[in-house]
Structures are given as C-alpha cells and as structure tokens.
Amino acid sequence: MARNSTLKISRERENYSRQMQGPKQMTKTEDDKSRQRRPHEPKVKCRAIGAASDFMKAMANPVRLAILCVLMEGTRTVSELEEILDVHQPTLSQQIGELRDAGIIVGRRVAKAVVYRLADPRAGQLIAHLRLLFADSEASAIWRGAQFESGATAEMA
C-alpha cells in the first residue's frame, strides 16, 4: 500500500512539473514549414480589377475624398485646402502625399506655394457618380460640389 501512495505522489509531482513548464515545444520540420500560411493571393487574376481596387483604396479615406471633392472644382493650394476643409496642415499634407503618390493629383510650384489639381479624370468621374449614389439634401457643401471663394470654410457634415 505504501508503494502505491509513493507512485501516486511521484506521478502528481511529474504532472505538476509538466504544467509548470508549459506546453511541449514542437520543432519545425520541413513539412511544417511547407504548411505555414502564405500571404493572401486573390483568385481573380485580372489587371483591371487590381488597378480599380488600388485606385479606390487611394481614395478610400474621408480626408482624401474631401480633398478630391474640392479639387474637382478647381486648383487649390495647401493653405486654401486647409482653410476650406478645416483639417490640420500635417494631416492634409500626409493625405495629399498619398493622392500624389497614387497619381490622382499633381502639384505645381507657384512662388512659395504648391497648387494642386486633379491629374486623373477618373477620380472626378467616380466622385460625380458617388455624389449621385449618396445624394443627401443635408450633405456638406464640399460633397454637393459648391464653389468656394478664397477664405470660405465649409462644414463637413
């Protein structure tokens, strides 16, 4: 009987020490490496779909979309965009950079300022369609396509 209790205590100690060590670590074999997750590759292998997706991703930000809405009405400097959109200059510059890198807008230096305009007409066409799809009588002047005088600020509703 003493032998059984000694074995029982011995097993309990082993179980306790295994629990304290945590789960047993497995070593990676070549087979394990081949089963690792790979980055998602879309099943659709169409360049046009990829290009359209990238184009929409570049516009898929409220500040970038607002910038494009204002630029549809004409060229603007960063300070004019900052005033119209009521967005802080660092945020505005970052979003302008994203649009510029995507080739949707271009800037031209005039004296000390950079004047931006739409470079890709597809952006204007897409925004025009979005305005129709998401028409709202209470939408902001920016969304409705209002013309802004220098010094005018629009509320983004």
- In sequence order, the β-bridge partners of residue 118 are 105
Which amino acid does the sequence have at 110?
A: V
C-alpha–C-alpha distance, residues 86 and 154, integer Å: 8
Which tens digits make up the pLDDT trace of 32-84? 555 666 666 667 678 888 899 999 999 999 999 999 999 999 999 999 999 99
Contact 86, 153 (CB under 8 A): yes
Scored b (16 or more CB within 10 A) or e, 84-94 reads bbebeeeebee
Using DSSP, state whether 25 is helix, strand or coil: coil
Condensed to tens digits (0 to 9), the pLDDT of residues 87-117 reads: 999 999 999 999 999 999 999 999 999 999 9
Higher pLDDT, 156 or 40: 40
Tell me what the mean pLDDT of segment 141-152 comes to. 67
Q: What is the mean pLDDT of residues 108-132?
A: 93
**pLDDT-based confidence at 156, cuts 50/70/90?**
very low
The pTM of this model reads: 0.65
Return the CATH number of the domain spanning residue range 63-135. Answer: 1.10.10.10
Residues 6+ apart with CB under 8 A from 153: 83, 84, 86
